[in-house]
Every structure is written in C-alpha cells, then in structure tokens.
C-alpha cells in the first residue's frame, strides 16, 4: 500500500535536516502551528474513546469526514508542556487529512522515529506511536465503512 | 526557616525553590541544569543560563545498556563548565522525573554538590519567570571525575534476586496497571519492552508521582511522604530498600525522596527494572 504523498514529502523534508538542534527547532516551529480541535466537533471534557492510549501528554484524536469519503484529523493535547505531541499532531493532521483512508490505515508507527530520531524515551515514543496508531485505526474504520 | 525547611525533610538543603534559583541565576558557583523527557522542551525556552543534560545522549553509553563511564562523565562536566566546587541544580519536566534521574547518575560519580529545584520546569513557567531560548556557553572546566561507584546506590539483577530471597523490601513505582501486569494484556496498549507482566514478588506498589503535589509539582511534606512509604508501603529508614520501575528513571525520583527527603540509609535503584526482570528467564514474578 502506498504511503500518502504529503506524508512522504514531510518525512523527506525532515530528513534534509539531520542536525539535531536544527531538527528540534523545526519541530518546535511545527508545534507552534498546533490548533486544537474546533469546538463544533468536540468540547471539554473530551470523550475517553478519543484519548490516545499510553500518551502521557493526554492527547485526543477526532475525525471529520469530507464529502469525498476521506477524513480530516483534529487533535487536542491537554499537557501544556506536550510540545512533541503537538508537533506530531500538526504533522499527522497536515499530512494525512484528505488522504485515502486505505493508505492512512497502513501508515507505520515507526514514522515517529523518522520525525524525532531514536533519542526518545520509551514512554515518549510509545505515546507518539499510539497517536499514529489511533489515526490509522480511525482511517481503517472509515475505509471499511466505505467498502461495505 | 524557609518554606522548604518547614516541611520536615531530613536533608532539606538538597531541595531549592524557584525563588532561590531566580536569586542565583548569576552565581558562578551554581550551574543550573535542565533534564527533560521531551527533547523539544529545552529549546522552547529554559531558565536563563541553564544548560541541557539529555538523558539519552549525555548520560547513557551509546552502545551498551549502561551509564556513561568516568571519561564520559568527565567530558560532560568539562563541557558544561562544572568544577568540583560547582553546585549543580537540576530541574525538568514531568514533576522532575528526569531531573532526579540525572541527579542520581551524577551521584554514581560522587558529585554530591547537587540540588533539585522543587516543582521543576512547570512551576517556574507558571510563576511567569523568565525563559530564555538561547543556549548558554561556559568556559570548559578541568573536571577530574572519580570512577563510577555502582555499589552504593545502584542494584543489579543478581542482587535483586538475593534481596527478594532474603525478604528485604522492594518498592515498585510504576502505575497500578503495570504493577498488576494488566497493562501488558490490554490490547490497545503497545508492548512495553517486556515479555511478562507483573511485579517482583514482595514489592510494595507506590507509584512515583504520589510523592508530588499534583497542583504545582512540588514534593509533599515529610509527614505525607512518611504516611506513603512508612505507613502504606511499610518500609523504615533503616531498611535496605531496592526501588525499580521500567528502566530506572521513575524509580530514581523515589530514590531521591527516600534517600534525601526521608533520610533512608540504604536505598538502591534497580535500573535494569522491569524491562530486564520481565524478560529474564526463570525469575519469579507475582501478579
């Protein structure tokens, strides 16, 4: 299964920044673009079924269907220090919203390491991988609904 | 008497307030060190003059599962301009979880001029204190490090096995679901690097964050901490205690509390922790 084009582009852009401090700055800039899920879709307290398991920054994922059957992905991150979770949310939202759900469903959780490098704690990498996993699971559900 | 001194700790001098740090920003005898779990946080802004010590890059051997050796520690201290006389003050995210981890590693090399900023990074930020994005630079020092001493405050798996056979106290500081083994069996949770779930037989469960006030991330007072460890977990200051978690980071926070705030004489951190014990062939496990 092909990887969504925008995700490929994003990962290639990040790969062009091998210097750790430059990569960190780029990810901070990305996190700065984080916008919380619109209130028309969800309000606090956010429903538990939208909470990312194992994410210590208390992240939530929401979807909004487009007329063409693809999904927009929205996020909330409750930890004010959850900069990495916000950066991941922006990357996933930008790169996967509007992509074919069948492709999104197959996105590997290992992209976390392509984004952040290997120097992540086990807890942090599990939380970020769980964000990817939850997005993929929601896309899979959409793909199955489309085909049935 | 300062507010920290009034909390009744055995070694209150090891903890400093955000105000104390604010008053020592330009003190040449102090080096402020930020240690976080989130690798992006330091660059978003840190206590002015603070250097970053990153647990993966700076404190661990890049190949073996072990901490850095004498040469590595010496190079680190020289790079951040710390001398034998410098007092290092750690702070960080996640209720100082990683700050106490760095503090513990520094103690393996005997750098005992070390303190923790109570409340960590979030308390400093919430008080509206300045955050600086510019990483500082200090002249390199000529620090000469001692050999790492693993005997005093670090425990290895064979010692843990002997410890549990002797029915000496252990404290598991992970979450209740990790302690019970439930988490490894929950399908929506990723594997945590261990083949088996549960805890070391006889270990008491005291999740690490119970030692912290949830409102501001400061440590609870001595009376509250004694109720937690001496009351609930039934361990005493004279006991030989081993603490553990998943890889030894959360348990270094509990090690700090027991050793410095409550004055326990002999607490060792088993950094192999559950990622080692839960994969070991033949060792006993309790659920």
> Which chain A residue has its CA at the smallest distance from B52's CA?
A21
The C-alpha atoms of residue B91 and residue B88 are separated, in whole angstroms, by 10
> For residue B186, is pLDDT > 70?
no
Per-domain residue ranges of chain A: 5-147
Surface of A (90-119) touching B: CB under 8 A = 116-117, 119
Question: Whole-model pTM?
Answer: 0.92
The C-alpha atoms of residue A99 and residue A134 are separated, in whole angstroms, by 16
Percentage of residues in chain A with pLDDT exceeding 70?
99
The C-alpha atoms of residue B247 and residue B280 are separated, in whole angstroms, by 14
Chain B CB contacts of A124 under 8 Å are 37-38
Contact A119/B193, CB-based, under 8 Å?
A: no
If we measure between CA atoms, which residue out of A120, A126, A70 comes closest to residue A95?
A70
Helix ranges, B110-229 (H) = 120-126, 157-165, 176-180, 222-226
Chain A CB contacts of B91 under 8 Å are none
Q: Give residue-wise pLDDT tens across range B227-278.
A: 999 999 999 999 999 999 999 999 999 999 999 999 999 999 999 999 999 9
Q: Give residue-wise pLDDT tens across range B42-76.
A: 999 999 999 999 988 899 998 999 999 999 999 99
If we measure between CA atoms, which residue out of A41, A39, A67, A62 comes closest to residue A50?
A62
Tokens, residue A7: 């995700």
Chain B CB contacts of A116 under 8 Å are 39
The CATH number of the domain covering residues in A5-147:
3.90.1010.10
Q: Give residue-wise pLDDT tens across range A43-86.
A: 999 999 999 988 888 999 999 999 999 999 999 999 988 999 99
The full 3-state SS of B205-252, as one line of letters, equals: ECCHHHHECCCCCCECCHHHHHHHHHHHCCCCCCCEEEEECCCCCHHH
The C-alpha atoms of residue B70 and residue B52 are separated, in whole angstroms, by 19
> Closest to A31 (Cβ–Cβ): which among B40, B54, B55?
B40
Q: Are A84 and A114 in contact (CB under 8 A)?
A: no
- What is the mean predicted confidence (pLDDT) over A20-43? 95
Beta carbon pairs, A and B, within 8 Å: 57
The C-alpha atoms of residue B212 and residue B95 are separated, in whole angstroms, by 7
Domains detected in chain B: 5-126 (3.40.250.10), 154-277 (3.40.250.10)
The C-alpha atoms of residue B218 and residue B96 are separated, in whole angstroms, by 9
Q: Are A75 and A42 in contact (CB under 8 A)?
A: no
């Amino acid at each position: 299964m092909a990887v969504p084009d925008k995700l490929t582009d994003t990962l290639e852009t990040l790969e062009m920044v091998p210097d750790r401090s430059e990569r960190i700055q780029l990810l901070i800039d990305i996190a700065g673009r984080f916008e919380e899920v619109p209130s028309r879709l969800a309000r606090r307290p956010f429903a538990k079924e939208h909470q990312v398991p194992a994410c210590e920054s208390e992240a939530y994922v929401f979807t909004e269907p487009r007329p063409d059957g693809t999904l927009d992905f929205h996020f909330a991150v409750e930890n004010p220090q959850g900069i990495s979770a916000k950066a991941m949310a922006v990357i996933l939202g930008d790169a996967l919203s509007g992509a074919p759900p069948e492709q999104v469903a197959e996105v590997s959780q290992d992209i976390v390491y392509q984004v952040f490098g290997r120097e992540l704690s086990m807890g942090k990498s599990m939380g970020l991988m769980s964000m990817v996993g939850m997005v993929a699971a929601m896309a899979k559900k959409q793909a199955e609904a489309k085909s049935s | 008497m300062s507010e920290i001194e009034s909390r009744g700790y055995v070694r209150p001098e090891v903890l400093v307030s955000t105000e104390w740090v604010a008053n020592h920003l330009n003190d040449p005898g102090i080096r402020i060190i930020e240690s976080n779990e989130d690798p992006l946080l330091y660059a978003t802004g840190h206590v002015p003059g603070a250097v970053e010590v990153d647990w993966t890059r700076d404190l661990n051997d890049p190949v073996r599962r072990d901490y850095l050796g004498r040469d590595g520690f010496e190079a680190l201290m020289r790079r951040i301009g710390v001398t034998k006389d410098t007092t290092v003050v750690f702070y960080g995210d996640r209720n100082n979880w990683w700050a106490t981890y760095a503090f513990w590693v520094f103690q393996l090399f005997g750098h005992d001029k070390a303190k923790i900023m109570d409340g960590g990074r979030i308390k400093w930020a919430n008080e509206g204190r300045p955050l600086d994005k510019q990483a500082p630079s200090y002249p390199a020092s000529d620090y000469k490090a001692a050999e790492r001493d693993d005997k005093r405050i670090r425990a290895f798996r064979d010692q843990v096995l002997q410890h549990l056979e002797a029915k000496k106290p252990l404290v598991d500081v992970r979450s209740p679901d990790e302690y019970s083994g439930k988490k490894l069996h929950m399908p929506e949770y990723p594997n945590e690097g261990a083949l088996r779930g549960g805890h070391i037989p006889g270990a008491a469960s005291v999740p690490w964050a119970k030692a912290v006030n949830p409102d501001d991330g400061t440590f609870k007072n001595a009376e509250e901490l004694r109720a937690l460890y001496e009351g609930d977990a039934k361990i005493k200051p004279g006991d030989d205690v081993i603490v553990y978690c998943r890889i030894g980071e959360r348990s270094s926070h509990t090690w700090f509390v027991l050793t410095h705030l409550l004055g326990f004489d002999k607490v060792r951190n088993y950094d192999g922790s559950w990622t080692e014990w839960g994969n070991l062939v033949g060792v006993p496990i309790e659920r």
